Amino acid sequence: MAKAPYQPPVQSKFGQVFDSLFLLALVMAALFVPLYLGLAGGGKTTLEMPDKSWAGMQQNATMQAQWEKLGYTDGTEAKDGKTPAADLIAARFDYTFEPVELGLTALVVIGYFFIVFHWSKKEYQDVIDERFNNK
């Protein structure tokens, strides 16, 4: 005995517009909340380099030549229209982390996939039942 196919309600124009705007808002929030809270790019740090000469920044003659060709200079001040390379050279990522953070992140990712697969499976059963006229 086949069950009657599910008849979805037809969404009103207003509902469609509202849903579209809601999704837009959600996307913007995903971008701007981390940026706004200043959380993005938090994993960066700067090396301590008291000596800002090329040699002091561990740059050999070849590196120095290439930096200068690209329009950079040593020291902390711009000179001859060249910007100082010190900030670029000293920029580093900070890879130290708490195991708890890693654990939490892993939990979120795995939890997400688990929920999505679980829910999908339930919905999929409905689809198959209706499509193939299961009892």
Partner 1 sequence: MSQTTAVHGERISLLRVLGPGHVWALGVGIVLVGEYMGWNFAVGKGGAIAALVACWFAGLLYTCVAMIDSEVTSTVAAAGGQYAQAKHIIGPLMAFNVGLFLVFAYTMLEAANAITLGYLVQTVGSMSGFENTHDKPFIVLTIMFLAWLNYRGVYATLTFNLVITAIAFVAIWVLFFAVQPWSDVYMKHDQLLTGLPYGWLGVLAAMHFGMWYYLGIEGTTQAAEEVRSPARALPLGTMTGIMTLLIAATMTWYICAGLMPWEYLGQAVTPLFDAARLTDSTVLMVLLFIGTIFSTLASANGCINDASRAWFSMGRDRYLPQAFGAVHPKYRTPYRSIVFLVPVALVFAIFAPLDQVITFSILSGLLEYTFMAFNVLMFRKKWPLGTIPRGYVHPFHPLPAIVLLILCTATYFAVFLGYGTQLIAMMVFYIMASLWFALHRYKFVRRGAQFTMPWPKPVGY
Contact set for partner 1, span 15-44 (CB under 8 A):
15-17, 19-20, 22-24, 26-35, 39-44
CA 70, CA 24: separation in Å to the nearest integer? Answer: 41
CB contact set of 87 (below 8 Å; sequence gap of 6+): 46
**Min CB(61)–partner 1 separation in Å:** 8
| 3-state DSSP assignment of residue 56 | coil
Quick one: tokens of 55? 């040699």
Work out whether 76 is an interface residue with partner 1 (CB under 8 A).
no
Work out whether 55 is an interface residue with partner 1 (CB under 8 A).
no
CA distances from 115 to 106, 122, 123 (A): 14, 11, 12
Site for partner 1 in 85-114 (CB under 8 A): 85, 88-89, 91-95, 97, 101-102, 105-106, 108-109, 112-113
Work out whether 135 is an interface residue with partner 1 (CB under 8 A).
no
Q: Which is nearer to partner 1, 19 or 77 (CB)?
A: 19
